[in-house]
Structure 1
Amino acid sequence: GKPAAVDIVLQPATLAQEVTIRATAVVGPEAALAATPGAVALIDAATLTQSRVLTVDEALRKAPGVFTRGEEGLGLRPNIGIRGLNPTRSSKVLLLEDGVPVSYAPYGDNASYYHPPVDRFDNIEVVKGSGQVLYGPSTVGGVINYLTPAPPDRSSGAVTVIGGNRDYLNGHARWGTTIGRTGLLFDAMRKQGEGARENTRFGLTDVTGKVLQSIGARQTLSVKANYYGEDSNLTYSGLREAEWQANPRGNPFRNDFVDFRRLGGAITHTVAATSNVVVATNVYGQRFARDWWRQSSNSNQRPNDSADPACGGMANLLTTCGNEGRLRDYVTAGFEPRVRVSSNWMGIRNEMDFGFRGHFENQDRTQRNGETPVSRDGRLVESNERKATAWSGFVQNRFVFGKFGITPGLRLEHVRFERVNRLLNVRGRTDLTQWIPGLGLTYSPSGGTTVFAGVHRGFSPPRAEDVISNTTGGTIELDPEMSWNYEVGVRTRAGRTAALEAAFF
């Protein structure tokens, strides 16, 4: 027969009532909103298609409370903030793709230099309020989950080509089918062009393949793999006021280049053990190589003469002044089983989610200072290895009393950081343990209206480089960033065309 998609929805009415249970969603279908004890935004496929968004920035601006700050005008590395928090490098937000971390070092260095293109997503979930204890780290701001489409029942595909001035080209192709119990999906994209400033040009290729295999009536196995490559002529630096007044679209650093390569994958197995118990297990990994050769890292660095102090200033920027090669290699892997149990006890409906995760990160960080603007080698000034090993456990239970719901939850994070300075032969390690509670309340007087309130602890760990000295290996006393997030609100829907959500936080 046809494949049965078995996924976990984290907030369904009851497990037995679910026809399709999504293992990759944070919120789930719109029907699950009544049980969600916090502010959320769902950006569906129709909205993304009809509004013809070109970048992630344009898509996320459709979610209230989300602010994005562009960097190069092309949407390659959006800086995302929620409810007024600093958006730089999206470090206060947990970014997921199909429930799996997008960031290559969410514990050791949650700075997003890589962001998947919006073209290959068909839904976006934004969780701003309570209910975040099931996820982590970096939940001070909220959780954003990008969902890729499932393979179609029948063979279908689409090709989109968009062009514009400054040599802009965006080509996207998608094809999928289902053969017996096996669903296939292939997605490929090429985006290139010149930026809004002089001496800027970008080009990226993104290819994704997904296989969804139905194993009998109660199990599915999903395998997804992705390749991302970017070669861009982009600088890290902005302009000083005098430079902007002379040429607002100028860029003196024409020899700054980016070379990014990423390979990632995830395997998801889901089994409905009974009509009331579903187990979903994610195994994931990625390798991200981030090389950036540049002559300036900020507007105060004019020019970058660390390799040659006698370069003489901006007049010799393109001839005798050197550059810096910030060469990074990240390897991330993890596994995470989750269990959903639905039951009735003494007339009280219970929906429990629990599980644990093992997450492992390794950073290889090198810096070489070149002697010319186009050097691709030079004097070694940094050689660091940084590791983070994180173990997480979480449990959340929703008690349903008629129209009322109470959802307490608790998460435990234990992180071990390690750092090795290979130039000085210095190493060190330290540990961090943190309990993260949360509580949410809902009241649904009618099918289309939910009143909610909640409080939860936000958690963002320090970077490995901030808690271990680079020169001595000693521990630096630095606590994680913590927050208490409170909110109360209401959401309602009138028919299919009108919806309202208001929240105070």
Structure 2
Amino acid sequence: MTFRLSAVASALTLAGILPMIAQTASADTAESDLSGLERITILGSAAAVDELPGSGYYMNAEELARFDFTDIHRALAQVPGVYVLEEDGYGLRANIGMRGTGTSRSDKITVMEDGVLAAPAPYASPAAYYFPTFGRIQALEVIKGGASVAYGPRTTGGVLNLVSRSIPTTDLAGQLQAAAGSDGYGKMHGWIGGSSDRFGAVIEGYRQQADGFKELPNGADTGFYKNDFLMKAAALLDAAGNHRLHVKLKYSDEVSDETYLGLTAADYESTPYRRYGASQLDQMMTEHRQYQLGYDWTLSSGSTLRATAYRNEFDRNWYKVSSVNGESLGGGAEAIASAFDANPQGSLELNVKANNRAYLSEGIQAQFEQALGAHRLVFGARVHEDEMDRFQWNDVWQLNANYSAQLLSAGVPGTDSNRIDSAEALAVFGQAFLNFGDLNIDMGLRYEDIDTLRRDWGKTNPGRDTTPTQRANSTSEVLPALGLTYRLSDALVLIGGVQKGFAPAAPGNTEQENEESVNWEVGARYRSGAVSGEVIGFLSDYDNMHGNCTAAQGCDLNAIDTQFNAGEVRVQGLEVLGEYGLTFAQSELILGASATFTDSEFKNSFNSSLGTWGSVAVGDELPYQADTQVQLSARYLLGAWELNAQARYIGDMRTQAGQGEPDAAQRIDARTVVDLTLTYAIDQRQQVRAGIDNAFDETYMVTRTNGGIQVGKPRTAFVQYNYRF
């Protein structure tokens, strides 16, 4: 399969079947005003989860605001079946997994914003070093199980869709937030917009920054700043509202003084928030640009067609130390992490790599939906291209006894990694939602056809003026799914489903097999008055699981970008979710809980260079996956006051595949972290909110994957003022 987007788009347009957006249209599309026009959701509301033939979770703007979530990891802690691996403490680099997929850089799940793939190159290089600025997100949606068949390319674990600011339906509305807190934390966030009968628009600006909670010996910042700007506009093209056009433009940039270089165990115990002087040059710089144009058409039959063209551009350069005195971080993290401190009168030679990459992701997607009485049919397709252009180099620095750094030699751009990985993909899906009274059946089928290509100019041709070596892969896959719900009573619904999971082999890995699995789930939902709950058991049975060797995974530099086949793996578990509300004379108390219990097992023995796997034996457990996760929450409302508390418990987890009780060097201990917020409504337009993250100042490690131990964020506080009109 070889094609270009422009040619395919023209052909499909002439055929009248523009490729469909891979998501279920909300009822808003049929409205004749601008309400919800550009708000592209999967579920659309928490109530819709009750009818979902599979596991789902919806978090609206009110829930996100209770803790003023700006870190996706903290928000997802209350979603069962989702695993997160903190890294920098602020959520700048998201590590999210679902049902045992692995968490590194969220590369094993499908991440979208407004129904459009959000990863910089979701087919060619899915590791998400870019993640949408979570502080501006208005709703969060998680889909797991058979209902995720409409999304891809990675369908094993599930789908995360982030919903951005919607256009207000009033003449004029807006909001301003200003926050300040510990470690130089600051945030400014504002938006303004409105609608007339036929036109609406909104603009939004967001700025977040902090000096960081870690300490370098030279006193330099270890924090970040991030800017994000969004503009949306929508128009009804006819008086009846049958034809609608919407535009979305977004720009963001970030500078963060983050590193992979962590601490030795001894230094973590004595001074957990220090950073070694060898990491003082480390800095990530990014820019992201997004362009979207959408068209909605409501036909006379009541069916709907929604088409979206999109383009995402992402540039990043993470300038970070990769070796100290010739020893790479991945090859000897504990040994090199304190090398300078062990020889304070000497000097170190630092190899600092400019991990410079440019990403492009673009495509056209569309969806057609038709109601047939109590039943509904949805068809969709997406034509997509993406690429990652690596043009990297190494600088050599000398770090002296007084922590001053001197440049010894500047590298030439393109003399380290110098290649382009690209992909072209066609995805088509169909779903039938059949209603037979108390029984609902969701049958789905997805087809993925993918071509990938790696062009490598090596390390001696930065001008790219000779023919590169090329390695190409082609793959196609048919992915069926079946989901059922049966309503036993007004309060109790049984659910179950089965689907085929899939993730394509990476470009350049010609001997790798696709990741394939069969995923089962069965459970029940209960909702009656102030009581609601859900219990779902899941089983992910892999024929072949992938392991992707990245610096974030603790791989040696010589093995970076290698993909490993793990063969058969089984992951099974139980997801529990519940809420109970109590109403008193003048107040209200809502208690919530969620839990995930997981068991995993490799079914094959093999050796790999993947730092978190290593030498694997039959029966070994997956690393970086706690057996037990529990979240408890309480919300208390009294007049103008609102108090929210959230406690997150994550059990012990091993840092390398193995069996039995891991030793201290291959274990991350269990922890409980409590967050608190107190909100006072001055009037209908003004609020003041104060919050404390990690209220009991728990010291805990989050990862050992690269360069030693990284530590979680300590107790931090903030105060915020909100004004809305």
* TM-score class, shorter: 0.7 to 0.9
Q: Distance in 2 between matches of 1:87 and 1:78?
A: 9
Matched, 1:269 2:295: yes
Indicate if the aligned counterparts of 1:414 and 1:433 stay in contact, CA closer than 8 A. yes
Equivalent positions of 1:104-183 (< 5 A) are 104-154=120-170, 155-183=172-200
Q: Cα 1:116–1:9, aligned 2, differ >3 Å: closer, same or farther?
A: closer
1:482 maps to what in 2? Answer: 516
2:16 maps to what in 1? Answer: none
Match for residue 370 of structure 1 among 388, 391, 395: 395
Match for residue 289 of structure 1 among 315, 321, 330: 315
Give the CA deviation at 1:79. 0.9
Comparing 143-152 with 79-88, greater Cα deviation is found at: 79-88
Give the CA deviation at 1:273. 1.1
1:274 counterpart SS class: coil
Give the CA deviation at 1:202. 0.7
Give the CA deviation at 1:236. 2.0
1:131 counterpart SS class: helix
Amino acid corresponding to residue 95 of structure 2 in structure 1:
N
Indicate if the aligned counterparts of 2:362 and 2:386 stay in contact, CA closer than 8 A. yes
Q: Cα 1:182–1:343, aligned 2, differ >3 Å: closer, same or farther?
A: same
Q: Distance in 2 between matches of 1:47 and 1:159?
A: 18
2:480 counterpart SS class: strand
Indicate if the aligned counterparts of 1:302 and 1:313 stay in contact, CA closer than 8 A. no
Q: Distance in 2 between matches of 1:61 and 1:461?
A: 28
Matched, 1:212 2:209: no
Matched, 1:190 2:215: no
Indicate if the aligned counterparts of 2:25 and 2:41 stay in contact, CA closer than 8 A. no
Q: Distance in 2 between matches of 1:21 and 1:174?
A: 17
Matched, 1:451 2:494: yes
Structure 1-normalised TM-score?
0.88
Equivalent positions of 1:221-260 (< 5 A) are 221-245=245-269, 247-252=271-276, 253-260=279-286
Give the CA deviation at 1:159. 1.1
Q: Distance in 1 between matches of 2:359 and 2:193?
A: 31
Matched, 1:442 2:485: yes
Indicate if the aligned counterparts of 2:29 and 2:296 stay in contact, CA closer than 8 A. no
2:150 counterpart SS class: coil
Structure 2 residue runs without a partner (length 5+): 1-20, 217-221, 323-327, 398-404, 462-467, 539-725
Q: Cα 1:14–1:159, aligned 2, differ >3 Å: closer, same or farther?
A: closer
Give the CA deviation at 1:446. 4.6
Matched, 1:360 2:381: no
Q: Give CA-to-partner distance per residue, 1:205-253, whole Å, 9 cap, x none.
A: 1111111212222122111111110111111222222443453212121
1:378 counterpart SS class: coil
1:381 counterpart SS class: coil
Give the CA deviation at 1:381. 2.1
Q: Give CA-to-partner distance per residue, 1:78-129, whole Å, 9 cap, x none.
A: 2112234321111121111110011011111111111112221211111122
Match for residue 327 of structure 1 among 356, 370, 376: 356
Indicate if the aligned counterparts of 2:263 and 2:334 stay in contact, CA closer than 8 A. no
Q: Cα 1:374–1:101, aligned 2, differ >3 Å: closer, same or farther?
A: farther
1:48 maps to what in 2? Answer: 64
Indicate if the aligned counterparts of 1:66 and 1:81 stay in contact, CA closer than 8 A. yes
Comparing 84-93 with 164-173, greater Cα deviation is found at: 84-93
Give the CA deviation at 1:270. 1.0
Amino acid corresponding to residue 487 of structure 1 in structure 2:
E
Give the CA deviation at 1:274. 2.6
Match for residue 369 of structure 2 among 330, 340, 363: 340
2:472 maps to what in 1? Answer: 429
Q: Distance in 2 between matches of 1:374 and 1:415?
A: 47
Q: Cα 1:92–1:176, aligned 2, differ >3 Å: closer, same or farther?
A: same
2:147 counterpart SS class: coil
Indicate if the aligned counterparts of 2:210 and 2:223 stay in contact, CA closer than 8 A. yes
Indicate if the aligned counterparts of 1:413 and 1:434 stay in contact, CA closer than 8 A. yes
Q: Distance in 2 between matches of 1:285 and 1:359?
A: 10
Q: Cα 1:304–1:390, aligned 2, differ >3 Å: closer, same or farther?
A: farther
2:90 counterpart SS class: coil
Match for residue 493 of structure 1 among 523, 527, 531: 527
Q: Distance in 1 between matches of 2:57 and 2:253?
A: 30
Q: Distance in 1 between matches of 2:65 and 2:104?
A: 28
Give the CA deviation at 1:313. 9.8
Q: Give CA-to-partner distance per residue, 1:280-328, whole Å, 9 cap, x none.
A: 11111111011011113746456999xxxxx999769976433111110
Aligned length: 480
2:612 maps to what in 1? Answer: none
2:671 maps to what in 1? Answer: none
2:580 maps to what in 1? Answer: none
Q: Cα 1:128–1:206, aligned 2, differ >3 Å: closer, same or farther?
A: same
1:238 counterpart SS class: coil
Comparing 419-428 with 350-359, greater Cα deviation is found at: 419-428
Q: Cα 1:278–1:381, aligned 2, differ >3 Å: closer, same or farther?
A: same
Q: Cα 1:448–1:382, aligned 2, differ >3 Å: closer, same or farther?
A: same
Q: Distance in 2 between matches of 1:316 and 1:32?
A: 65
Q: Cα 1:268–1:492, aligned 2, differ >3 Å: closer, same or farther?
A: farther
Comparing 291-300 with 100-109, greater Cα deviation is found at: 291-300
Amino acid corresponding to residue 202 of structure 1 in structure 2:
F
Q: Distance in 1 between matches of 2:317 and 2:346?
A: 21
Comparing 193-202 with 102-111, greater Cα deviation is found at: 193-202
Q: Say what the alpha-carbon RMSD is for the aligned residues.
A: 2.9
Matched, 1:10 2:24: yes
Q: Distance in 2 between matches of 1:34 and 1:244?
A: 45
Q: Distance in 2 between matches of 1:170 and 1:14?
A: 32
Indicate if the aligned counterparts of 1:8 and 1:24 stay in contact, CA closer than 8 A. no
Indicate if the aligned counterparts of 2:22 and 2:365 stay in contact, CA closer than 8 A. no
1:420 maps to what in 2? Answer: 455
Indicate if the aligned counterparts of 1:362 and 1:387 stay in contact, CA closer than 8 A. yes
Matched, 1:503 2:536: yes
Match for residue 404 of structure 1 among 439, 445, 450: 439
Comparing 413-422 with 30-39, greater Cα deviation is found at: 30-39
Q: Distance in 2 between matches of 1:434 and 1:202?
A: 42
Q: Distance in 1 between matches of 2:516 and 2:446?
A: 14
Q: Distance in 1 between matches of 2:52 and 2:274?
A: 48
Indicate if the aligned counterparts of 1:130 and 1:439 stay in contact, CA closer than 8 A. yes
Give the CA deviation at 1:133. 1.2
Match for residue 391 of structure 1 among 422, 426, 430: 426
Match for residue 87 of structure 2 among 64, 71, 91: 71
Q: Percent identity?
A: 28
